[in-house]
Amino acid sequence: MPHVICVRPIHEAAIEKMRSTEGVTVEILMDISPESLARNLPRADALIVRTIRIDRPFLAHCTNLRLLARHGVGYDAVDVPALTERGIPLTITPEANAVSVAEHALMLMLACARQLSGYDSNLRQAKPVWGGQANLPTFDLAGKTVLVVGFGRIGTRVAKLCAAFGMKVLVRDPNIGKGSIRGLGFTPVDDVMEAAAEADIVTIHCPSDASTRHMVNAPFLARMKKGAVFINTARGTLVDEAALDAALRAGHLGAAGIDVFHDEPVETAIPLLTAPNLIFTPHVAASTAEGLARMAMDAAEACLACFDGTLDPDIVVNKEVLAGRN
């Protein structure tokens, strides 16, 4: 009888879907102490995980594991080679959070463009200044140029939203054909540094791997237009936080909006949190009510598909383990 362990709660509808499937049992594991993991993980045929680190010591307890399902799309905290060595697929929920994250990126752009934090703070003072302020200049998105770096499920949606606001959209993604980008009405670019110098806003939507970590560094930020806005709702490891902090404090960047950090959760103070003209959220871009429900349901469906031999290769990160499975 396949047994699914959800490490911390997920949406009730997804739990009910699994429990209503004949022969499948489900457990919610709240205690993630080393003792609890050692005691409970051996019983799991499938695990649904959110933010917990999955390394070799963790996997050593998973003696019967057939699937690791990520409740989300990022897998920085997962030791994929260790899973692959054991023939265990890692699934993600690639479609579930795309709309939510794209909308969050637009929210951060608007908040930066309209100095939301500054005007909100002003109005809460005992004697607020009424009306526009010279030290809080704002601008329209319409007519501005945005560079979208990464043109996957989220990046494409961000590009469409920006276009709806009347922005000129530049796209950099070496994995997408230029014709496909042009066909959607956007402008492909070859040199991301040159494009960064042209853009009023840069927003990144790339996975984090050896080729992209710290892609936004001091030289990149220096090439950005003075007063430009930087947005990151992808992965914190894409950015050199010290360089971003320096660019904001020097006034080279006009503002930044970030939802992700290099090390998460942020448990000790980091300089970036006190940088001027920075709007930040604690990695919640995907966590709308709808987004959470979709991610949970997709993760649950991945578990059920694994059990009946119909796992969709498109949601599997380490596809090489699928040979001979379905």
What is the pLDDT, as a whole number, of residue 266? Answer: 93
Mean of pLDDT values over 183-191: 97
Mean of pLDDT values over 65-70: 98
What is the pLDDT, as a whole number, of residue 230? Answer: 98
Task: Kindly tell me the sign of the dihedral angle through the C-alpha atoms of 121, 124, 127, 130.
Answer: positive
What is the pLDDT, as a whole number, of residue 103? Answer: 98
Is 153 annotated in the active site? no
What is the pLDDT, as a whole number, of residue 45? Answer: 98
Contacts with 206 (C-beta within 8 Å, 6 or more apart), sequence order: 149, 150, 212, 215, 234, 235, 238
What is the pLDDT, as a whole number, of residue 324? Answer: 60
For residue 20, with 0-12 CB atoms within 10 Å meaning exposed, 13-18 middle and 19 or more buried, which class applies? Answer: exposed
Domain boundaries, the chain: 3-96+289-322, 98-280
Mean of pLDDT values over 75-91: 95
CA distance linking residue 100 with residue 291, whole number of Å: 6
Active-site residue (options: 71, 205, 235, 294) = 235
Q: 50-54, 55-59, 180-184, 245-249: which has the minimum mean pLDDT?
A: 50-54
Choosing among 3.40.50.720, 3.40.50.620, 1.10.3720.10, 3.90.45.10, the CATH entry for 98-280 is 3.40.50.720
Is 235 annotated in the active site? yes
DSSP helix/strand/coil, 67: strand
What is the second-level CATH architecture of the domain 3-96+289-322? 3-Layer(aba) Sandwich (3.40)
Residue among 223, 175, 217, 221 at smallest CA distance from 198: 223
What is the pLDDT, as a whole number, of residue 209? Answer: 86
pTM for the whole structure: 0.91
Is 262 annotated in the active site? no
Contacts with 105 (C-beta within 8 Å, 6 or more apart), sequence order: 154, 158, 161, 203, 205, 231, 233, 257, 285
Per-residue model confidence as pLDDT tens digits over 113-161: 999 999 999 999 999 999 999 999 999 999 999 999 999 999 999 999 9
Active-site residue (options: 11, 283, 294, 301) = 283
CA distance linking residue 26 with residue 4, whole number of Å: 5
The reply to whether domains 3-96+289-322 and 98-280 share a CATH topology is yes
DSSP helix/strand/coil, 95: coil
